[in-house]
Amino acid sequence: MLRTFIIVLLLTTFSTFKASCIAGVSGSGNDESLVTSPIACVFLELSGSAASFGSINVEARVLRFDKHSLVHSLRVSAGIGVAEPGNGYLPLLAKGLLFDSNHHLEFGLGGNVLYRRVITAPGSPYKSFSDAPVNPILLLGYRYEERDGGFLFRACYTPMYDVGYEQWSYLIGVSIGYAF
């Protein structure tokens, strides 16, 4: 069900690209027709994509699209889990934002790269993930980000597939940060 939803979302999103959108992205020099969007942001995330209690993340805009397109921008992000009692992960994601406003639907996919393995004690209340070097993650959520930068808020659903245990972990993350 989730896989079907993501495929439909991606097909719908990319079918809305217009020739003017692609021309604007390719460097035609017509910046007035492109969305206004911050170049980068830094945010702290509680739970979420790093599969930890907290993470510090940076994100950069790769492409921005025509103001009349459903797709707002494409971005890449990287982070580091900083408050986990168990394994340490580096979440690496490719993301898309929909809608030209301060309110966006955010979607993405990527992987959690294991950088620190910690064995939790038996009976520990903390969930232990396998020692798989990379676990795929998905992202779907709400994002508030002002067009000219400033305050950033995110609330995202980020399921992660644990390759070692062959099971899904369903995570929810909340973030605050600053876009510039």
pLDDT for position 5? 47
Helix locations, the chain, DSSP H: 2-15, 19-25
CB 155 within 8 A of CB 144: no
Residue 7 phi/psi, 5-degree rounding, is -60, -45
Count CB neighbours of 102 within 10 A.
Answer: 13
Name every residue whose Cβ is closer than 8 Å to that of residue 26 and which is 6 or more positions away in sequence.
none
Q: Look up the pTM and report it.
A: 0.78
- Fold assignment, 36-179: Porin (2.40.160)
CA angle, corner 107, sides to 35 and 24, nearest 5? 25
Per-residue pLDDT of the chain (180 residues; tens, 9 = 90+): 545 544 544 444 444 333 334 434 444 456 788 988 999 999 999 999 988 888 999 999 999 999 889 999 999 999 998 765 667 889 999 999 999 999 999 999 999 998 887 776 676 666 667 888 999 999 999 999 999 999 999 999 999 999 999 999 999 999 999 999
User: What letter would DSSP give residue 35?
Assistant: P
pLDDT for position 120? 66
Structure tokens at 75: 């971005």
